[in-house]
Chain A
Amino acid sequence: MATVTNWIDHLSAKEVAGAVYPGAGSSETLLVIIGIVLWIGWHVLTNNSESEELSRLARKKRGANDHKSNITDW
């Protein structure tokens, strides 16, 4: 996975390759796909949990000042 194993060899090359991260030149597209899946997945997960939370809270029919009894002293 290491793109560079010897900095002296790397920097003294006739043309120094700029990309030095692990998997340079071979892993970028896969990383982007994984990143997009994680991003979309986050929306799906949080949307589901938010909908559930909002429905649960709406069913309780609390009044506008009910939260005041939940104010903590700490």
Chain B
Amino acid sequence: MTDQLGALTTIFTEFYYWITVVLMFLIHVGFCMYEVGASRYKHHQHTLMKNTMLIPLVTVTWFFFGWWIYWAFPTGPGLAPSIMNESAALITDESTFSAKWYLPNTEFMAVNLQDHISGVFWAAFLLFSWTAASIVSGAIIERITTFAFGILAIAIGSVFWTIDAAWGWHFDGWMLKLLGYHDAYASGVIHAIAGGFALGVLMVLGPRIGKFSSSGEPRNIGPRNPWLVTIGLFLIYTGFWGFYAACNIPIFDLGPEYGMEGVTFWTATNIYVTPTTLSGITMNFLMSLSGGLLAGYVIAKGDPFWTYSSGLAGVICASAGNDLYHPIQAMIIGMIGVVIAYKLHYWVERKFKIDDAVGAVAVHGYAGVVGLIICGFVLNGYPSSGYSVGAMWDGSTYASINPLGQFIGAIIMFLVLGLIPGYVLAKILNGMGKLRIPRDVEIAGLDYEMMESAKSDEKAVSSATR
């Protein structure tokens, strides 16, 4: 960096993403508090550790191969040619945005004085990965082994979500080109896939003991600590601000980027390099959050657990198009998503005896799918990519946003990359006898030995004289 303006732009961008990473850490703090609050006393510590250990597991695997997948897979492979090298193979050539530079043994995956962006961008995506894995974690509490969860967390966090990001988020992604897929703040690429994956695992894992009566009626196993759940969900909201900011490129001159001669237009853009503003998406975030809370309060009759979760579901549902929606559109879309997700949750629970302990499949999966589909109608006709409008690449290579493309995209996210891999992996782990904890342990409580040991220590200390 030798000129001051270039240096300022680069260092600002570096710092911007760094801040988003710190903010997004609060999502994980929130998920941990939420899960402990939702689990029963005798499972608390194992529940917490299960969710905590996904941090290192997803991080190291994201370093080893997750980040490489994102840059290698935009073409499918084999589904649409790259706009960089016109090949439909994995992108591993010498081009600027090739996966070749993101192998774990390259000099860009470390402190590098010539590269101020790769590390913070890597970290921002990594925090998305934690979120994907943590969404799954909540649904399956109190009966999965830590070993199995670790494998599943790596699968969703460092493999399947990063494939969907390469397909539906990367500027060269085949879903943008062929389907006109648009998902600015990850209704699908994080939430629908994680919800679908969780549902696939739940189908194999089965319900907690006692969740359903002998006649099949579901029983409520409510949150043990509603205050921890409350703070957890507020922290998830807080981290979600960072998530929204991290999905943007903070400062970009679109004139030369789009090949518009003599035009300078500095702006923030979404991940597809089409213009938006941090200001506008902040309004939309708050209005969709409000829509979700308003609808959730009504439909759940004031139940705090569902009201808070509905705020989250409202944002998730509107996220696909929150880069362009009017705030009132965002609010209404949030409301619609909440009503559908809530109704579907209880219908699936009764019909298929699915025990989703925290409503994760509904809040993330169903609301995400609904949000993608609605986005196809409301944003019908908008360009799906900045690169379909200029001469930088080769003209109109990208489909516009459209309802059918968004519907197919939703199926890819929820079913193809979410539910099916989750189901298959859970089947394999179950076949190995590694998926579910023994029945007697579930009844006694995963923390039984820890608690017993703590009680012995307490007795010893209280009877001590020196």
Contact = CB atoms under 8 A, between A and B. Distances in A.
B93 interface: no
A1 interface: no
A43 interface: yes
B267 interface: no
B111 A19 contact: yes
B147 A47 contact: yes
A70 B459 CA distance: 11
Interface residues of A, number: 40
A54 interface: yes
B92 interface: no
A35 B111 contact: no
A21 B113 CA distance: 10
A53 B393 CA distance: 58
Nearest to B104: A32
B110 A19 contact: yes
Interface stretch (B130-138, B368-376, B438-446): B438-446
A8 interface: no
A71 B453 CA distance: 10
B55 to A, nearest CB: 13
Interface residues of B, number: 41
Contacts of B11: none
Nearest to A73: B458
Contacts of B151: 43
Contact of A32 (B41, B64, B438, B452): B64
B447 interface: yes
Contact of A50 (B105, B115, B145): B145
Dominant SS at the A interface? helix
Given A39-B61, A47-B147, A70-B454, A62 B448 contact: yes
Given A35-B60, A46-B146, A64 B444 contact: yes
B107 interface: yes
Nearest to B457: A72
Contacts of B42: 67
Contacts of A58: 438-441
Contact of A57 (B104, B111, B448, B461): B448
B150 A43 contact: yes
B104 A54 contact: no
B147 A57 contact: no
Contact of B147 (A21, A39, A50, A73): A50
A9 B437 CA distance: 60
Interface of B: 41-42, 57, 60-61, 63-64, 104-108, 110-115, 145-147, 150-151, 434, 437-441, 443-445, 447-449, 451-452, 454-455, 458, 461
14 contacts: A16-B114, A18-B108, A19-B107, A19-B110, A32-B64, A36-B64, A47-B434, A53-B449, A57-B440, A70-B452, A70-B454, A71-B451, A72-B451, A72-B455
